[in-house]
Amino acid sequence: MNKWKQALGNSCYENKRDKRNRNLAIGVYLLWIAAFVVSHLSIKKGWILDPWAIWALVLGTLGLGIAMFQTYRRFLIHADELTRKIELESLAFAFGVGLLLGVTAWLLETAGIEIFKSSFIITITAMLLTYSISLVINSWRMQ
């Protein structure tokens, strides 16, 4: 029980440097998600019609995405080696599951069988869920 509690609390990140870098990566990630949602809604709902403003939104979101990638990369480079192993295993597993589900959903779409609304959404959702679950399981395994 204690192992699960520690795993759910991501106790591998007790190192102050890792905590700070991880929190920064999560902060930039949330900013990127917010920028993506605002940009998507602004373009889809027609709140912004000026092509230059649309370009600015898209490039701003892309810039935040690059910043997110860099902060996460920095976190991984400087992370405690057990933390890095857990993160990389979880990322690899999430990538594999996302790729398989995404390609399968895309094939079904091509065949005219629509189980999911969009293969893109199912891929992203599967990757995020698998990554989160893998983090907890891998942290538990290493306790």
d(CA 88, CA 141): 14
Give whichever of 17 and 40 is closer to other proteins, judged by the CB atom.
17
Of 12-20, 25-33, 35-43, 89-97, which segment contacts other proteins by CB under 8 A? 12-20
Q: Give the residue with the Cβ less far from other proteins, 18 or 39.
A: 18
Q: How many residues does the chain have?
A: 143
- Cα separation of 109 and 81, whole Å? 41
Only segment of 6-14, 22-30, 89-97, 124-132 that touches other proteins (CB under 8 A): 6-14
Structure tokens at 112: 């005219």
Nearest residue (CB) to other proteins, 73 versus 141: 141
